């Protein structure tokens, strides 16, 4: 691998991975804040307003981090991936520009009012600002997923004689069939992150015996929404997304599953280590026929293995792809079990007193972040060796004049700066949690 290519890939991978730690919470939290504000309006219970205000403060810190780490993402299309941008900018520039015009203006305008304007606005108007922030952030998700979906499954384009990629159908681009499941899967993932965070903080307060009125609201909201969202991650959204991959990127599916040989009645590997030299899965624990059923809805269907594809079509880091996928599914399954159990205890009215379960909810906080990151790694590593699937290879897209040394210089700069940001973020969020949902200090 050319070292400039490796540096530019790592540059984008690192900055986007760090960036997405923040929007995944804010997009999900925007929905939960609307739910809390709605409950406050309907019941007139001041606790809901306090809960909403507390999460709005957490939201604001995350949003600021998301904004400052988001600007580099748009820039890097040009700085590090100039050949790709030159050829494909006429297509994906549409969705990126639409994100700015339709979502960011909406989101930023009303976030200012939502955070600073509660005293200046009527309760209903303040609710509306929260709703518009939610709408803006979810539209932003749509345009970004549409951009990624086009790279995963290009649609609505044609090639001109010079190799430039021209937009051919606007609706083909914004209604690309790949978008629907990926969008729903991703946004549901954001709701999982936010609801686990809410339940986790609720469990923390409950276990510490602080702010227990608010803790109950956090636990109830987090667990109910979380149970629905974690289930929806597997079905229908995960299933739908998986079938899109299976039908359109079959070699990616084989790599994700560590399936080397073409077989009828293909199994799913729960664990195992793919060995790409000897072309086998070591130490496998298999569920027979499951992959065939999930992919084609027939237990005995044939699924093609990696050996039946030319090696230059294989994703270039199969072990990492395989592990990313398995980590995502494994943690997703764990979160479903935890949320369903918590929902059962909540329904029986015993959640607040079950210390073991509260501890489990508290400690589950990192899992949705890891699962979401692993999910995105699965999508993007699975797209390799293509930058635009079937159209442009990743190696063809990098900036021709930016050397590995200059790329490494700025990558190191981002590593250092983001380390500082990460520490500041944790420090500030910890202070907000410590301060708690009651204005004017602890009870």
Partner 1 sequence: MIQIVWFCLVAIMIAGYVVLDGFDLGAGIIHLIVARNESERQQVLRSIGPVWDGNEVWLLAGGGTLYFAFPALYSAAFSGFYLALMIVLWLLILRGISIELRSHIDSALWKPFWDFIFGAASALLALLYGAALGNVVRGVPLDANGFFFLPLWTNLMPGRDAGLVDWYTLLVGAAAFAALTMHGCHWVILKTAGDLQGRSRTLAAKVWWAVLALTSILTLASFGLQSHLSAEFAAHPWGYVFPLLALLGLFGVRVYHSRGKELSAFLASCLYLVGMLTSAAFGVFPYVLPSNVSPEAGLTVDNASAAPYGLQIGLAWFIPGMLLATIYSVFVYRKLAGKVEA
Q: What are the residues binding partner 1 (CB under 8 A)?
A: 60-61, 64-65, 67-72, 74-75, 77-80, 82-94, 96-102, 104-106, 108-113, 115-117, 120-121, 160, 164, 166-168, 170, 399-403, 406, 409-410, 413, 417, 421, 424, 428, 431
Number of other CB atoms surrounding residue 120 within 10 Å = 9
Of 89, 175, 189, 208, nearest to 138 (Cα)?
A: 189
Looking at the Cβ atoms of 105 and 359, the one nearer to partner 1 is 105
Q: How far is the CB of 88 from partner 1 (least distance, A)?
A: 8
d(CA 235, CA 317): 28
DSSP state of 156: S
Closer residue to partner 1 (CB): 19 or 214: 19
Contact 84, 92 (CB under 8 A): no
The answer to whether the CB of 228 falls within 8 A of the CB of 343 is no
Select 403 or 443, whichever has its Cβ closest to partner 1: 403
DSSP state of 353: G
Q: Which is nearer to partner 1, 347 or 409 (CB)?
A: 409
Measured from the CB atom, the residue of 64 and 290 that comes closer to partner 1 is: 64
Shortest CB 125 distance to partner 1, Å:
9
User: Which region holds residue 164: left if phi is over 0, alpha if psi is between -120 and 50, else beta?
Assistant: beta
**Backbone angle region of 9, left / alpha / beta, with phi > 0 → left and psi within -120 to 50 → alpha:** alpha
Identify the residue whose tokens are 């520490």: 423
The least distance separating partner 1 from the CB of residue 204, rounded to whole angstroms, comes to 20
CB atoms within 10 A of CB 257: 26
Least distance (Å) from partner 1 to the CB of residue 146? Answer: 13
Of the pair 75, 359, the CB lying nearest partner 1 is at 75
Q: Least Å distance between CB 126 and partner 1?
A: 11
| 274: β partners | 281
Between the alpha carbon of residue 93 and those of residues 43, 101, 158, 359, the distances in Å are 45, 12, 15, 46
Q: How far is the CB of 307 from partner 1 (least distance, A)?
A: 38
């Amino acid at each position: 691998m050319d070292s400039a290519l490796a540096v530019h890939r790592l540059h984008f991978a690192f900055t986007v991975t760090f960036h997405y730690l923040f929007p995944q919470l804010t997009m999900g939290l925007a929905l939960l804040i609307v739910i809390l504000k709605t409950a406050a309006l309907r019941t007139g219970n001041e606790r809901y307003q306090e809960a909403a205000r507390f999460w709005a403060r957490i939201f604001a810190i995350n949003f600021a981090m998301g904004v400052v780490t988001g600007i580099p993402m748009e820039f890097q299309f040009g700085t590090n991936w100039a050949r790709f941008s030159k050829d494909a900018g006429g297509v994906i520039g549409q969705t990126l520009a639409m994100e700015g015009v339709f979502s960011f203006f909406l989101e930023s305008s009303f976030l200012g009012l939502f955070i600073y304007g509660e005293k200046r606005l009527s309760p209903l108007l303040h609710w509306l600002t929260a709703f518009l922030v939610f709408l803006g952030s979810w539209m932003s998700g749509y345009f970004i997923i549409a951009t990624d979906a086009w790279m995963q499954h290009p649609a609505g384009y044609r090639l001109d004689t010079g190799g430039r990629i021209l937009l051919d159908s606007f609706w083909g681009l914004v209604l690309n069939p790949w978008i629907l499941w990926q969008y729903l899967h991703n946004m549901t993932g954001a709701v999982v992150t936010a609801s686990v965070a809410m339940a986790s903080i609720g469990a923390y307060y409950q276990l510490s015996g602080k702010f227990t009125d608010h803790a109950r609201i956090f636990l109830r909201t987090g667990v109910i929404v979380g149970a629905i969202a974690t289930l929806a991650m597997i079905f229908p959204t995960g299933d739908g997304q998986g079938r899109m991959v299976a039908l359109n990127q079959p070699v990616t599916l084989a790599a994700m599953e560590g399936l080397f040989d073409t077989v009828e009645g293909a199994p799913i590997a729960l664990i195992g280590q793919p060995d790409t030299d000897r072309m086998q899965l070591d130490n496998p624990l298999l569920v027979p026929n499951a992959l065939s059923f999930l992919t084609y809805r027939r237990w005995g269907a044939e699924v093609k293995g990696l050996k039946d594809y030319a090696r230059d079509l294989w994703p270039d880091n199969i072990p990492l792809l395989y592990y990313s996928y398995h980590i995502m599914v494994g943690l997703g399954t764990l979160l479903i079990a935890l949320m369903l159990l918590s929902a059962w205890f909540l329904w029986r009215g015993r959640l607040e007193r079950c210390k073991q379960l509260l501890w489990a909810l508290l400690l589950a906080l990192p899992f949705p972040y890891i699962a979401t990151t692993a999910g995105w790694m699965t999508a993007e590593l699975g797209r390799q060796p293509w930058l635009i699937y079937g159209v442009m290879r990743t190696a063809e897209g990098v900036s021709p004049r930016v050397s590995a040394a200059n790329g490494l210089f700025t990558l190191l700069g981002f590593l250092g700066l983001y380390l500082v940001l990460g520490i500041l973020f944790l420090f500030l969020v910890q202070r907000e949690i410590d301060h708690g949902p009651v204005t004017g200090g602890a009870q």
